[in-house]
Amino acid sequence: MDKNFQEEQFTGIIKFTPPLYKQRYQFIKDLVEKYKPKKVADLGCADCTLLWMLKFCSCIEVLAGLDICASVMKEKMHRLSPLPVDYLQPPERSLTVTLHHGSVAHKDPCMLGFDLVTCIELIEHLEESELKKFPEVVFGFMAPSLVVISTPNSEFNPLLPGVTLFRHPDHKFEWNRVQFQSWALEIARHYGYSVEFTGVGHPPRGMENVGFCTQIGVFVRKYTQTSESAQSETPTEGVYKTVFRAVYPSLKDEKYLQNAVVSEVIFTAQIIKRRLLDRLMSEHEEYNDDTTERKSKFQPLMNCFSEDLGKLVVEKSMEPFVKGSVVYIPLTTIFSFPKVIQLCGTFEKLCKLIAGKVTLSSDGSAMMFNTEHE
């Protein structure tokens, strides 16, 4: 990730490329790629940009955001909604995105069970009383296996133009490295975490001693939690208000799985049927004064098959057949298609999912198509 941190020659004006906030988000994204957490919460999620970036990470199944200000969350929260494509081709993984309105100084059971909790540029906005409760809420109560906390490094401030006291008027404090690290180490020790320090935003050449512009602490829980001891005093009532919730379609949901399977089955069966009929027809119709035209008309129906698929279908026991005006396609034929196998897993599951959705022969072993109207 080094190449992300290109600093300009120090000319008195510090400019980060990519911008510092993006570097912070990228840092989290890289961390997610490395640890593959399933449940991620972003405390102080503001306009949900980080959550939006994280929703594309395929390992994550639960995303939650928390902010003290509901209106800033609401402004752009709709980009956390599923996209049309998520419905068109539901992915395997499930994903639920929830936004909560509340304070990091309060405990709410909805924040339990997370793998990763991120607090990007959050702590410096906390009042002293809130900051005091913060470690207990995040490390004691939520107790995720991974916590990331970032905050400004005040040693860097002299290099930033126009910064007199703090970088933002709402900041209650800005710490230097020693202050942050001792705070962090104390927490780590108390709650059984190990912590490593890093940061983003390299100082200009010759000024390396000031450290990163943003300092980051990565906390890893030392022991896997066995009992729920830490949550013995679990508050039963939620204090956060849910402002947004989106459940993404997924194949784990029977409804979407069934849709996907039925679609796939009918589509493949149609192709097989067409191919069978065409073959019969061309055998039937000996004379043919317009070969080119026939070809262009019938070939489309043979597409979508890779070579090996075509062979599979030809196997004797699975061969589809025509009786009268009805085409029979054995379910075993259909189950030989990789996509169908992949979706259903077992033959029994296939039968279960398509039951009632397609017309089957009396013994239930084949799909039936009436070709009278064609």
Partner 1 sequence: MTGRARARARGRPPGQETAIPSVGAASVQQTLPSQPPGRQQPQQPHVPPSASEEPGGRGRQRGPQSVPQDFKTIGLQISAGFQELSLADRGGRRRDFYDLGVNTRQAIEHVQESKTGSSGSMIKLTANYFRLTSRPQWALYQYHVGYSPEMEARRLRSALLFQHEELIGKTHAFDGSILFLPKKLGNKVTEVTSRTRNGEDVKITITLTNELPPTSPTCLQFYNIIFRRLLKMLNLQQIGRNYYNPSDPISIPNHRLMVWPGFTSSILQYEESIMLCTDVSHKVLRSETVLDFMYSLYYQVGEERFRDTCAKELIGLIVLTKYNNKTYRVDDMDWDANPQCTFRKADGSEISYVDYYKRQYNQEITDLNQPVLISQSKRKRGGMVPGPVVLIPELCFLTGLTEKMRNDFNMMKDLAIHTRLPPEQRQREIGRLSDYIQKDDSVQKELRDWGLSFDSNLLSLTGRVVQGERILQSGNVFDYNPQIADWSKETRGTPLISAKPLDNWLLIYTRRNYDIANILVQNLFKVTPSMGIRMNKATMIEVDDRTEAYLRGLQQSVTPDTNIVFCILSSSRKDKYDAIKKYLCTDCPVPSQCVIARTLSKPQTALAVVTKIALQMNCKMGGELWSVEIPLKQVMIVGIDCYHDTLSGKQSIAGFVSSLNQTMTRWFSRCAVQGRGQELVDGLKACLQTALREWFKWNKYLPSRIIVYRDGVGDGQLNTLVNYEVPQFLDCLKSVGKDYNPRLTVIVVKKRVSTRFFAQYGGTLRNPPPGTVVDVEVTRPEWYDFYIVSQAVRTGCVAPTHYNVIYDTSKLKPDHVQRLTYKLCHMYYNWSGVIRVPAPCQYAHKLAFLVGQSIHREPNLVLSDRLYYL
Using CB under 8 A, list all residues that contact partner 1: 17-18, 56-58, 71, 76, 78-79, 81-85, 87-89, 162-165, 167-169, 246, 259, 262-267, 270, 289-290, 293, 296-297, 299-300, 302-304
Tell me whether residue 188 or residue 329 sits nearer to partner 1 (CB atom): 329
Min dist. Cβ of residue 51 to partner 1 (A): 14
Measured CA to CA, the distance from residue 111 to residue 104 in angstroms comes to: 10
Tell me whether residue 205 or residue 245 sits nearer to partner 1 (CB atom): 245
Give every strand in the sheet of 241-247, ordered side by side. Answer: 193-200, 214-221, 146-152, 116-120, 39-43, 62-67, 96-101, 241-247
Min dist. Cβ of residue 135 to partner 1 (A): 27
DSSP state of 175: B
Q: Smallest Cα–Cα separation from 81: which of 251, 250, 246?
A: 246
Min dist. Cβ of residue 164 to partner 1 (A): 6
Tell me whether residue 100 or residue 167 sits nearer to partner 1 (CB atom): 167
Residues 6+ apart with CB under 8 A from 330: 317, 318, 319, 320, 365, 366
Measured CA to CA, the distance from residue 87 to residue 83 in angstroms comes to: 7
Given a contact cutoff of 8 angstroms between Cβ atoms, the answer to whether 334 and 265 are in contact is yes
Tell me whether residue 82 or residue 238 sits nearer to partner 1 (CB atom): 82
> Rounded to whole angstroms, what are the CA distances from 184 to 101, 142, 157?
26, 17, 21
Tell me whether residue 236 or residue 292 sits nearer to partner 1 (CB atom): 292
Min dist. Cβ of residue 210 to partner 1 (A): 20
Min dist. Cβ of residue 197 to partner 1 (A): 25
